[in-house]
Amino acid sequence: MDLNFTEQQQEFQKEVRDFLDENLDTKVSEKVRNGISISKSESEDWHKKLNNKGWLAGPWPEEFGGQDWGVVEKFIFEEECGASGAPRIVPFGVGMLAPVLMKFGSDEQRKHWLPRMLNGEDWWCQGYSEPGSGSDLASLKTTAVKENDYYIVNGQKTWTTFAQHANMIFCLVRTSNEGKPQEGISFLLMDMNSPGIEVRPIITLDGSHEVNEIFFSDVKVPLENLVGEENKGWTYAKYLLTHERTGNANVAISKRKIKKLRKLASETKKNGTALVNDPLFASRLAQIEINLQNLEITNLRTLSSVESGEAPGAESSIIKILGSEIEQDIDNLTRKSLGKRAFINEPDAFSVGYNGPEIEPKAAATASGKYFNHRKKSIYAGSNEIQKNIISKMMLNL
């Protein structure tokens, strides 16, 4: 057993650190550190910087413009980005659709779409959930009917993250009602500017706009935008979901957040002493820290077996459950630590033009908002209950 990186990996780690030092805009990283959504142009700027370095899609094979990173390189890169407060790479294109196109798409599709992901021409969003199809995704009803050179799409998608920024969407649509629900699903690429598409914002508990509803009425989609074979979309979707669920440990981000919480609690007074020394608070904090340390090792153990050739199975479900719960625990304790200051909800306090009263401690501006926003973490990407179903089936064979 050995936790150390190889010399080469250590050099890579240093290279990433140096790159972040030089290229990460502190205004952007301050926003990220305080849990504020960054703007579309801030995201695009960051993607461009990464792409110039060749790191926007590090895990991609070299033939498609990637660096062929192994799991450890990917881990190092994400850890360093998480620790420094770099924006997360918007995953829908490079992280989610790209692996599907590489494995199941046509040569033309790969040649056309992959370079556009790298140079920022397209912003992708993901059309999976529908109002009646959440955890039971295979029951989805949005239809695509072949008519001459087009599919005609009708229906509705929901919870679509950043649809307001996107010019493209990949969608699961129903092309057949024969057989099991899973057997009539296809995987389509659509232009968000097509006539008949309407995007309506969904505002979440904290007042923020991340997710949307999308309505499709008689939207024409060229036949060549079908990925793989008709009615095989469920296979591609499952493949994509395993990619979505890896990298959900968020260890570096949680470490950064818990460090910040410890600092906050050492500067906050309770009954005349620092909150961090209050026995009940200290106990809650220590339990989360220990849980997080254990998760860090659990994550590394999984990486280590993937690196030695074992396929990642339901381990990603274990990590998704733990990662989301630990992040929620940190957000919860951060909110509690602020006492009555937790009432404040002023996300603009971190924006350049903010001219409201000063907020002290500044973390109070967004702490409760983030707490409520992050309830999503145990719901999205397969709710934690769905993860337990997967564990029961795949690991326990129940």
Partner 1 sequence: MDLKPSPERQILFDTLTKYFENEYKIADRNTAAHSELGYSKEAWEKMRDLGILESLIDPELNGFGGTPLDISAVFEALGRGLVVEPFLETGLVSTKILGKGNENQKKLVADLLENIALPTFCHSENDTDYRKSYVKTELVPDKEGNFLVTGKKVMIKNASGASHLIITCRSSGDYADEKGITIACIPSNRSGIDIKSFSSIDGGRVSDIHLENVAVLKTEIIGNDGKGFEIISEAIDFGILAICSEALGIMEKIKELTLDYLKTRKQFGVPIGKFQALQHRMAQLLVEIEQARSAVVNATINFFDSNERSSVISAAKFSIGKIGMLVAEESIQLHGGMGMTWEYDLGHYAKRLVLIDHEFGDEDFHLQKYIELQ
Binding site for partner 1 (CB under 8 A): 1-6, 9, 72, 262, 282-283, 286-287, 289-291, 293-298, 300-301, 303-305, 307-308, 318, 321-322, 385, 387-389, 391-392, 395-398
- Between 40 and 262, name the residue whose CB sits nearer to partner 1: 262
- Least separation in angstroms between CB 283 and partner 1: 6
Residue 167, token pair as written in the block: 């010019």
- Least separation in angstroms between CB 242 and partner 1: 18
124 DSSP β-pair partners: 168
- Between 212 and 302, name the residue whose CB sits nearer to partner 1: 302
- Least separation in angstroms between CB 365 and partner 1: 27
- Least separation in angstroms between CB 398 and partner 1: 4
Residue 110, CA atoms < 13 Å, CB-side half-sphere? 15
- Between 49 and 284, name the residue whose CB sits nearer to partner 1: 284
Q: How far apart are CA 352 and CA 359, in angstroms?
A: 15
| Selection from 187, 186, 212, 182 nearest residue 198 by Cα | 212
Residue 327, token pair as written in the block: 């992040």
Three-class DSSP category at 352:
coil
Q: How far apart are CA 382 and CA 321, in angstroms?
A: 10
- Between 289 and 327, name the residue whose CB sits nearer to partner 1: 289
Rg of the Cα atoms in the chain: 22
Residue 173, CA atoms < 13 Å, CB-side half-sphere? 28
- Least separation in angstroms between CB 228 and partner 1: 32
Residue pair 361/338 in contact by the 8 Å Cβ criterion: yes
- Least separation in angstroms between CB 294 and partner 1: 4
- Between 205 and 395, name the residue whose CB sits nearer to partner 1: 395
Q: How far apart are CA 366 and CA 165, in angstroms?
A: 23
Q: How far apart are CA 29 and CA 22, in angstroms?
A: 13
Q: How far apart are CA 256 and CA 157, in angstroms?
A: 35
Q: How far apart are CA 317 and CA 53, in angstroms?
A: 32
Phi, psi values for residue 122, rounded to 5° = -115, 140
Task: List alpha helices for 223-313, DSSP H.
Answer: 233-245, 251-267, 279-307
- Between 102 and 300, name the residue whose CB sits nearer to partner 1: 300
Q: How far apart are CA 126 and CA 140, in angstroms?
A: 14
- Least separation in angstroms between CB 388 and partner 1: 4
- Between 71 and 342, name the residue whose CB sits nearer to partner 1: 71
- Between 189 and 326, name the residue whose CB sits nearer to partner 1: 326
- Least separation in angstroms between CB 100 and partner 1: 28
- Least separation in angstroms between CB 387 and partner 1: 8
- Between 88 and 262, name the residue whose CB sits nearer to partner 1: 262
127 DSSP β-pair partners: 171
